């Protein structure tokens, strides 16, 4: 077991962290022009092409390095919503194209998506199909050389500014896991409408809106993977998202921990620094404990992805650990700062930005259901194999 990054990854982390601190700070309110300006800077820095092979304009790195870069972005950039948008672009949109796209599709889409010239959005969630993906109602009917899409998508990250949409639709009603197909749809395609941008409690720097498809014709050549292969593509992208995207919260938690330690050493009450009080110091120790535990679980999941693991439990555990730790870190930071913690600032922002982490990429309750089934609980499903610390498997 090696817990150290290689020299190149460490160098990239430091470079990306410094870049994020100096170049990616948000304006405080969402501005599409400013968003795209920073997006291009991130592309020029290589942050959008971490997992894309070099021949298509990316860095060609694996999950561990990609997670390390996301952690550096989360630590350096105080606009967590913007970093979240970067992660959604990379892991929910580019990764499926890398894994399942044809050579022609890769050469057409990946270079501009890596460079920051184009922004991608992933359309999966629907008003009646959030956690229950197989109940989606968006339909894609084959008519000659095109598919005609009809339906709605909700909570689509990046959609107000997106140039490309990776969309899941039903091509075989009642087909279950084999009834979904993935499409790449360009913005401006007739029949595709993007709704108004949501105002959210957290991740405000990440633009989100609904999509609507009304007899939207998509060339059959824009199908990603085979017809009926959409569910497998979705599961693959979610494994990457639940692992690598959530590394941004490790960076946020590390930043909040550092500022909490500094504040506890400076703030004085009753003639002493509040960090001298056990109630405060123990709270900070708990913040550090949760961060380190979540970090180990996430990088273990990333390590598995790099080795071609199909284990779905490790990403689910990592998502659970990181999201819950991020919420607790925000609460702790607010409590440590007292009255200042409920004013506009890093502590309350960290808490607001952490709350959605329990919802997106599959709610934490759904993750627990999936893990329970893997353990042989909650139904008749046999346990899936999951590597233990000793290299054995659950039976």
Bridge partners of 217, per DSSP, are 148
Helix (H, G, I), strand (E, B) or coil at 212: strand
Give the active site residues. 241
Q: Where are the alpha helices (DSSP H) in 77-167?
A: 80-88, 95-100, 103-115
Helix (H, G, I), strand (E, B) or coil at 140: strand
Print the SS3 string covering 50-66: CCCCHHHCCCCCCHHHH
Q: Look at the block and give the residue holding tokens 């709704």.
A: 195
Radius of gyration of the chain (CA): 21
Residues 205 and 326: their CA atoms lie apart, in Å, by 18
Structure tokens at 215: 């007899």
Residues 13 and 230: their CA atoms lie apart, in Å, by 33
Number of C-beta neighbours around residue 2 at 10 A: 6
Cβ proximity of 355 and 201 under 8 Å? yes
- Can you say whether the dihedral through the CA atoms of 99, 102, 103, 104 is positive or negative? negative
- Residue 200: half-sphere exposure toward Cβ, Cα within 13 Å: 24
């Amino acid at each position: 077991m090696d817990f150290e990054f290689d020299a190149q990854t460490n160098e990239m982390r430091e470079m990306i962290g410094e870049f994020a601190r100096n170049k990616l700070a948000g304006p405080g309110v969402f501005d599409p022009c400013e968003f795209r300006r920073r997006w291009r800077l991130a592309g020029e820095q290589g942050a959008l092409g971490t997992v894309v092979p070099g021949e298509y304009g990316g860095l060609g790195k694996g999950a561990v390095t990609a997670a390390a870069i996301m952690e550096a972005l989360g630590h350096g950039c105080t606009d967590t919503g913007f970093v979240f948008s970067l992660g959604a672009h990379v892991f929910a949109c580019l990764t499926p194209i890398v894994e399942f796209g044809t050579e022609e599709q890769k050469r057409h889409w990946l270079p501009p998506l890596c460079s920051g010239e184009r922004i991608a959005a992933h359309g999966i969630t629907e008003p009646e199909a959030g956690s229950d993906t197989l109940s989606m109602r968006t339909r894609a009917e084959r008519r000659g050389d095109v598919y005609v899409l009809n339906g709605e998508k909700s909570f689509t990250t990046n959609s107000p500014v997106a140039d490309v949409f990776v969309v899941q639709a039903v091509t075989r009603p009642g087909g279950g896991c084999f009834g979904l197909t993935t499409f790449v749809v360009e913005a401006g395609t007739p029949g595709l409408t993007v709704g108004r941008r949501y105002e959210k409690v957290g991740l405000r720097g990440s633009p989100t809106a609904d999509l609507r498809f009304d007899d939207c014709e998509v060339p059959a050549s824009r199908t990603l993977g085979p017809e009926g292969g959409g569910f497998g593509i979705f599961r693959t992208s979610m494994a990457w998202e639940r692992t690598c995207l959530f590394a941004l919260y490790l960076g946020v938690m590390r930043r909040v921990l550092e500022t909490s330690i500094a504040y506890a050493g400076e703030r004085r009450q009753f003639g002493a620094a509040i960090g001298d009080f056990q109630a405060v110091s123990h709270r900070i120790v708990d913040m550090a404990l949760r961060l380190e535990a979540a970090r180990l679980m996430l990088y273990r999941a990333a390590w598995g992805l790099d080795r071609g693991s199909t284990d779905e439990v490790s990403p689910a555990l990592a998502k659970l650990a990181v999201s819950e730790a991020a919420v607790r870190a925000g609460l702790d930071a607010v409590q440590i700062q007292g009255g200042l913690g409920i004013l506009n600032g890093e502590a309350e922002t960290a808490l607001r930005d952490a709350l959605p982490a329990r919802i997106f990429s599959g709610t934490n309750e759904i993750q627990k259901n999936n893990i329970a089934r893997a353990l042989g609980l909650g139904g008749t499903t046999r346990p899936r194999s999951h590597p233990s610390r000793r290299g054995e498997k659950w039976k």
